[in-house]
Structure 1
């Protein structure tokens, strides 16, 4: 999370979802699994969001077929532009005139000796419109993100 906050210069909203993952899973593998498990209904909601927000000059998603998902800097995967990649963390996000967001896919050991994947969302409002926009979509964000992270893994915890 620290890298996401640092890249935005602060934050106005942070949330994280953690899920147990198989030992030896890297952050790029965790990110790939989460993104590859995105259900069609989420893509449809993002399509609706894009139709509403594109006229205002806001970034839109780039749909990527599962076989074409490559976790590498500069790739746009859905609404996330991949910025940095390491074995421990994949950091992505976008900056618009209303807000900036970062999505961190990190892996870390658990106190019991296992491994967990942690998806963290960090939001920084650039103006009141960003605050209003995120408050409007936050219920969907809170519905979607835990389901995405759990895709193919055990139950998430918030």
Structure 2
């Protein structure tokens, strides 16, 4: 069995993320069917817990490559809780409500927000993760364009975990 199907054509959840960034340069969204009792917090926890080994390896390689440029590095760790201020993989949880979790990171080259929601989709409940990115200078655009294919692979792989 192939597991849950990740959809990239879902309507993004951007309002609060765009507001917190003051605008955006990139938006991407993945969605996956989730059990009926899943909350945004549960979806976030499931999606971000125990990242696949290849994701951990990619992030370690990324950290080694960008550290000389003064960019923030962050370990990919499974979150113990999903509460404001807590680490959530390479980012921090910014806001938590019953229906939405927003996490993000600000760096000198770009800032991003990830918004996790569970909502009613066309086929029932769906967990949705929207990433909103704002470049701060040309280096941010160049950096994101370089990692963008990996970003999409990582989100799809982790969204499948959010469905479990």
TM-score (structure 2 length as normaliser): 0.86
- Unpaired segments ≥5 residues, structure 1: none
> Aligned pair 1:99/2:106, yes or no?
no
Match of 2:72 in 1: 59
- 1:81 and 1:89 map into 2 onto residues whose CA distance is 14
The residue number in structure 2 matching 1:35 is: 48
Q: Pairwise CA RMSD of aligned residues?
A: 1.5
- In the alignment, structure 1 residue 124 sits paired with structure 2 residue 137: no
SS of 2:66's partner is helix
Matched with 2:10 is: none
Quick one: distance in 1 between partners of 2:41 and 2:162? 15
Q: Do the aligned partners of residues 152 and 79 (structure 1) sit closer, same or farther apart at CA in structure 2, a change above 3 Å counting?
A: closer
2:81 aligned with 1:89, yes or no? no
Describe how 1:1-158 pairs up with structure 2 within 5 A.
1-64=14-77, 66=78, 69-112=80-123, 114-151=124-161, 153=163
Residues 12-56 of structure 1: CA distance to partner in whole angstroms, max 9, x if unpaired? 000100111111211110000001141011011101111111222
Q: Check 1:152–1:118 CA distance in 2 against 1; reply closer, same or farther (3 A cut).
A: closer
Cα distance between partner residues in 2 of 1:57 and 1:41: 24
Counterpart contact for 1:37–1:152, Cα < 8 Å: no
Alpha carbons 1:98, 1:125 under 8 Å: kept = yes
Cα distance in structure 1, aligned partners of 2:22 and 2:116:
19
Unaligned stretches of 5+ in structure 2?
1-13
Q: 1: distance between equivalents of 2:75 and 2:151? A: 18
